[in-house]
Amino acid sequence: MNEIVKRDILAVLNDLAGILKVKEESDAAQIKELSNHVIHNASIFQEEDSVSIAILIYALSKVIDRRQKDVDYGKLSSMIISCITSLNKGEEDEFRKSVKKLFEFIRTVDERLKMYIHEVIVQARIRKGSKLCAHGISAARASQILGISRWELMNYVGQTTLSERFAENVSVSSRMKTARGLFS
């Protein structure tokens, strides 16, 4: 596992454990914010562990938002601490087993887990597509590479400040001149 990813996962899991110490109304919102951070990192690193944690935290935020009274915080906290301990010891296989147990635990609380997983993956792809556009790849090509619709990608890009970064407009005649120069 990449060391940067490992440190990020540990930081996120420690934050999650802190949120779950005491059951509060704001837990779902705090976990959702944590989920947004993890989704961003999952889209950047595209490493299996990072994506798994992103999915896990997003699903957990949804479950707590909908069924907070049904969630056993004590059991959940001990499972998260188990993940942290395994990762700190460098026991990546044990860490992955602990993550799998967390998914099973969440699945027992809410059967709609598959829907959350799909949504997290789509969001990660859309954000990555936005990054590709920022590097000069067309929206059509970025959406094709990542298997998302252009509409989803353009909707997200339109909400960002990506288009505002390019202040210089290039005329059509200048573009044609450059293109002709490339192919002559």
Overall number of domains in the chain: 2
Instruction: Tell me if 75 is assigned to some domain.
Output: yes
Let me know if residue 180 belongs to a domain.
Answer: yes
Q: What is the pLDDT of residues 27-45, one digit of tens each?
A: 888 888 887 777 666 666 6
Residues 128, 65 within the same domain: no
Higher pLDDT, 170 or 151: 151
Residue 105 maps to a domain: yes
Tell whether the model's pLDDT for residue 178 goes beyond 70.
yes
Whether 130 and 39 share a structural domain: no
Instruction: At 134, list the tokens.
Output: 């920022």
87 lies in the same domain as 50: yes
Residue 107 and residue 153 in one domain: no
More reliable by pLDDT, 170 or 91: 91
Determine the Cα–Cα distance for residues 101 and 99; give it in Å rounded to an integer: 5
pLDDT digits (tens, 9 = 90+) for 40-95: 666 666 677 887 888 788 888 888 887 767 778 889 899 999 999 999 999 999 99
Residue 140 and residue 71 in one domain: no
pLDDT of residue 132: 76
What domain range includes position 154?
A: 124-184
| Together in a domain, 96 and 11 | yes
- What is the average pLDDT across 163-175? 68
**Nearest C-alpha neighbor of 20 from the set 8, 9, 30:** 30
Residue pair 46/1 in contact (Cβ under 8 Å)? The answer is: no
Mapped onto helix, strand or coil, the DSSP state of residue 25 is coil
Q: Examine residue 117 and state whether it is found in any structural domain, yes or no.
A: no
Point out the domain boundary residue: 111, 132, 162: 111
Mark whether 58 and 12 lie in a shared domain.
Answer: yes
